[in-house]
Amino acid sequence: MSARCASLAAASDPRPEESPVSDKGWNYRTVIEPFRIKMVEAIPILSASERRAALDRAGHNLFRLDAREVTIDLLTDSGTGALSAEQWAAMMVGDETYAGSRSFHRLEAVVRRVIGHPHFFPVHQGRAAERILARTMLSPGQVVLNNTHFDTTRANVEQAGALAEDLPVAAAAVPEDESAFKGDMDLAALDEALARHGERVALVMLTLTNNAAGGQPVSMANVEAVSARCRAAGVPFFLDAARFAENAWFIHTREPAYASWSVADIARRLFDLADGCTLSAKKDGISHIGGLLTTRDPALAERFRNELILGEGFPTYGGLAGRDLEAVAVGLEEALDPDYLRYRARTVAYLAEGLLAVGVPVVRPPGGHAVYLDAGRLLPHIPKDAFPGQALATALYVEGGVRGVEVGSFMFPAARLQLVRLALPRRSYTQAHVDYVIEVAARVQARAGDLRGYRITEEPPFLRHFSASLAPLG
């Protein structure tokens, strides 16, 4: 397809023919998209002056661009994946019965196989599960510990009056650190926090993969250790399992004890170690909408059910249409396909390697769903309070219509790293699209010294990155 094809296989990949994950094996250097395209959607191609006008209209905030103004949309991997023919087919037979639909029971069978927790509730998306969890399990003054709370999880914990404390390993803050499991929780910090907060710790969570810290995976050893500590302390342990399949793939390829395990078995062991989970099916459920909340505890399930009925709907549809339940049921199993996961991880790594090759620093090693560009290092002349990440994100848009998202001091005023996340929607873009993104980034890199920072001209009281307006400095 493109000149870069030959470089697709990386030396760091497991020797595919030795991989027991897929009994078919894969012994080619080129890792292909394990699908062909049956339906296409045109993407807008704009002139540079049209892009500049769009950016001005949007107040230099990429969240305020319209889809028709974006060529390659890497804003998020959430709800933006391409559904499979099997998912569309299942959706056509979705059962829209209010109570006890066939589609619910189909999803239930998949959840039993993949997750295995005895009680589960569909919800409209991940944050609905977080909200129910927070409203039923937390009270003011209590504490939730997590490797790193995703922002909606943190917001729901804080809304319940509880404290959300992050306990990432130190390596998570060092973009050049090549450690395999930078999503791990710092176990010494967990021991210390459990001792310091005592009875006030209501819940411990692990976010798989750790989205707020570079999409980095958590090792099975870490999940085991956190699970054992929670059991000893009598504290419930939940997974934020939005990207459970990508995390399981990294365990398979990077944690030697699990090299001979299937990805589905690894995922199942992750869930076996937890008391429950929240799951946004918009990520590894490869669906446009949907989420899950699970628990082993029947008494807790009863409280979840009551809260669910108040805010989401009857427990057999939980804020979703029957056809959505079908899409999630199929997607959860497709996400565990080793051929798909190999291609998925390789695509993200390929983008990261391409960016590094053209001189754009990125968080290492590449994560599961996104590449995080280190704008702080690329643009050392722009101080944090002039938002180097925003300068880089808008430059990528003006250069080639590529939309990413700033994850730095514009999004989180206290942020230490100034990053831009390029998240890859599942199964949506081809290798040529990725090559184009690398080429756009190379052109931006070549004029990095000319990029200028920003000041905020208008900002809302909270979550300013979604709607604030900015103006370029100088």
- Residues of this chain that interact with ligand F0G (CB under 6 A) are 76, 78, 125-127, 150, 152-153, 207, 211, 240, 242, 280, 282, 291
Measure the CA–CA gap between 114 and 279, rounded to whole angstroms: 12
Q: Which of 264, 253, 256, 270 is nearest to 346 (CA)?
A: 253
| 363 secondary structure, DSSP code | -
Is 242 a known active-site residue?
A: yes
Measure the CA–CA gap between 294 and 278, rounded to whole angstroms: 7
Which of 77, 166, 240, 435 is labelled catalytic?
Answer: 240
Measure the CA–CA gap between 98 and 313, rounded to whole angstroms: 9
Nearer to ligand F0G by Cβ, of 150 and 410: the residue is 150
| Smallest distance, ligand F0G to C-beta of residue 464, A | 16
Is 241 a known active-site residue?
A: no
Is 98 a known active-site residue?
A: yes
| Smallest distance, ligand F0G to C-beta of residue 289, A | 8
Q: Are 319 and 109 in contact (CB under 8 A)?
A: no
Measure the CA–CA gap between 53 and 63, rounded to whole angstroms: 15
Q: What is the 3-state secondary structure (H, E, C) of 73-129?
A: ECCCCCCCCCCCHHHHHHHHCCCCCCCCCHHHHHHHHHHHHHCCCCEEEEECCHHHH
| Smallest distance, ligand F0G to C-beta of residue 326, A | 18
Which residue number has the CB closest to ligand F0G? Answer: 126
| Smallest distance, ligand F0G to C-beta of residue 285, A | 9
Nearer to ligand F0G by Cβ, of 133 and 382: the residue is 133
Q: At what angle are helices 102-114 and 322-334 packed, to 10 degrees?
A: 20
Nearer to ligand F0G by Cβ, of 320 and 391: the residue is 320
Nearer to ligand F0G by Cβ, of 280 and 445: the residue is 280
Instruction: Report the amino acid identity of residue 136.
Output: T
Which of 90, 160, 162, 242 is labelled catalytic?
Answer: 242
Which of 283, 387, 391, 397 is labelled catalytic?
Answer: 283
| Smallest distance, ligand F0G to C-beta of residue 124, A | 8
Nearer to ligand F0G by Cβ, of 19 and 153: the residue is 153
Which of 28, 48, 98, 385 is labelled catalytic?
Answer: 98
Is 240 a known active-site residue?
A: yes
Question: Which residues neighbour 183 within 8 Å (Cβ) at sequence distance 6 or greater?
Answer: 147, 168, 172, 207, 208, 209, 210, 213, 216, 217, 218, 247
Nearer to ligand F0G by Cβ, of 240 and 435: the residue is 240
Rg (alpha carbons) of the chain, rounded to whole number: 22
Nearer to ligand F0G by Cβ, of 8 and 373: the residue is 373
Nearer to ligand F0G by Cβ, of 107 and 379: the residue is 107
Q: Would you say the C-alpha torsion 228, 234, 240, 245 has a positive or negative sign?
A: positive
Nearer to ligand F0G by Cβ, of 117 and 131: the residue is 131
Q: DSSP per residue over 135-201, as a string? A: HHH--TT-EEEESS--HHHHHHHHHTT-EEEE-B-GGGG-TT---TTTT-B-HHHHHHHHHHHGGGE
| Smallest distance, ligand F0G to C-beta of residue 99, A | 24
End-to-end Cα separation, the chain, in angstroms:
42
Instruction: Return phi, psi of residue 49, to 5°.
Output: -70, -35
Measure the CA–CA gap between 324 and 6, rounded to whole angstroms: 39
| Smallest distance, ligand F0G to C-beta of residue 28, A | 32
Is 465 a known active-site residue?
A: yes
Alpha helices in 358-387 (DSSP H): 375-378
Measure the CA–CA gap between 14 and 463, rounded to whole angstroms: 41
| Smallest distance, ligand F0G to C-beta of residue 343, A | 21
Instruction: Return phi, psi of residue 164, to 5°.
Output: -100, 110
| Smallest distance, ligand F0G to C-beta of residue 209, A | 8
Which of 151, 297, 337, 339 is labelled catalytic?
Answer: 151
Is 429 a known active-site residue?
A: no
Which of 119, 258, 465, 468 is labelled catalytic?
Answer: 465
Q: Which of 358, 451, 417, 469 is nearest to 58 (CA)?
A: 469
Catalytic machinery residues: 98, 150-151, 240, 242, 283, 465
